[in-house]
Amino acid sequence: RLHVPTPLAPDAAVLPTLDQSRYLTQVMRLKIGDGLLVFNGVDGEWRCVIAEALKKGVVLRAAEQVRPQTLGPDVQLLISVVKKSALEFAVEKATELGVRRIRLVVTHRTQVQHVRMDRLDAIAIEAAEQTGRMDVPMIDEPVKLGEVLDDWEAGRRLMFCDETGGAPAGPALQAAGGDPWAVLIGPEGGFSPEERERLRALPFATAVSLGPRILRADTAAVSALTLWQAAVGD
Ligand code: SAM
């Protein structure tokens, strides 16, 4: 599986990047005539392609369209913009755990101002290739938490991870079965009392505890998504 940066016209040559060519020839030992699956996040299309030339890198000729398998259950990660290493870790692990969309939120106590979206996209693509996903999660630019809640998608449930306490996550997840979910993780300083009050009053939200200890935001994201995966994922 390989994510290529250009849309895949039916019989166009697909030119992987230099790094990808090196990976294909040196790591995967690709030979002329070998086939492999490539996908392009832009059009979400998959193609089985055949390696044609291995001289100056790899030329791949798109051979046939491959319909991606149906995507699994729908979960989003809403995470406060935390410091770079924690956010990059959370994006990589959320991609491995099947998140469909990652929404960066700005909360009252969010301290980080600037995010390198291109870096996060690259991490998600690499994690999607490594984990063998048929898609790459979309990552949204940071938006105020209040605005996200004001414009909430009907039918999606919210797993509000509250470090001050909440219900055990498993039963809440099982009770809602295959509904689309979103997991919300706060910043290093936690949610403000006003945010907590609003979140606990939302009809579509369930405040859940991830255990008696305070987890770092990236650990909390992995923990919550693993609980979701165990309860309703596939
Ligand atoms: N304000 C907290 C404190 O006392 O230091 C730290 C917040 S924690 C670093 C960041 C986020 O991870 C929290 O807002 C929450 O969403 C999630 N989180 C951490 N530990 C949790 C727990 N035991 N249960 C539920 N959520 C947790």
Q: Ligand 1: which residue has its CA nearest to atom 14?
A: 186
Q: What is the pLDDT of residue 22?
A: 78
Q: 119 alpha carbon to ligand 1 midpoint, in Å? A: 25
Q: 162 alpha carbon to ligand 1 midpoint, in Å? A: 6
Longest C-alpha distance within the chain, in Å?
Answer: 62
SS3 assignment, position 223 = helix
Q: What is the pLDDT of residue 132?
A: 79
Name the packing angle between helices 84-96 and 217-231 (round to 10°). Answer: 10
Of the residues 159, 162, 214, which should be mutated to test ligand 1's pocket, given the most ligand atoms within 8 Å of the CB? 214
**Using an 8 Å Cβ cutoff, are 115 and 103 in contact?**
no
- Sheet containing strand 181-185, edge to edge, reads 138-144, 101-106, 75-80, 181-185, 157-161, 205-209, 167-168
Calculate the average pLDDT of the chain: 85
Q: 214 alpha carbon to ligand 1 midpoint, in Å? A: 5
Ligand 1 pocket at CB < 6 A: 161-163, 185-186, 188-191, 209-211, 213-217, 220
pLDDT tens digit string along 73-128?
Answer: 899 999 999 999 999 999 999 999 999 999 999 999 999 888 999 999 999 988 98
- Sheet containing strand 2-3, edge to edge, reads 2-3, 35-40, 45-53, 59-66, 13-14
Statement: residue 67 has pLDDT above 60: no
Does the CA dihedral 184-188-193-194 come out positive or negative? negative
Of the residues 188, 215, 218, which should be mutated to test ligand 1's pocket, given the most ligand atoms within 8 Å of the CB? 215
* DSSP symbol at 107: -
Q: 219 alpha carbon to ligand 1 midpoint, in Å? A: 9
pLDDT tens digit string along 126-168?
Answer: 898 888 787 889 999 999 999 999 999 999 999 999 999 999 8
Residue that is written with structure tokens 């002329």 in the block: 32
Task: Work out the end-to-end distance of the chain between its first and last CA atoms, rounded to an integer number of angstroms.
Answer: 20
Position in ligand 1 atom list of the atom nearest CA 214:
20
Give how far Cα 195 sits from Cα of 109, 127, 220, Å.
Answer: 10, 32, 18
Closest to 225 measured CA to CA, from 43, 75, 61: 75
- What pTM value is reported for the model? 0.80
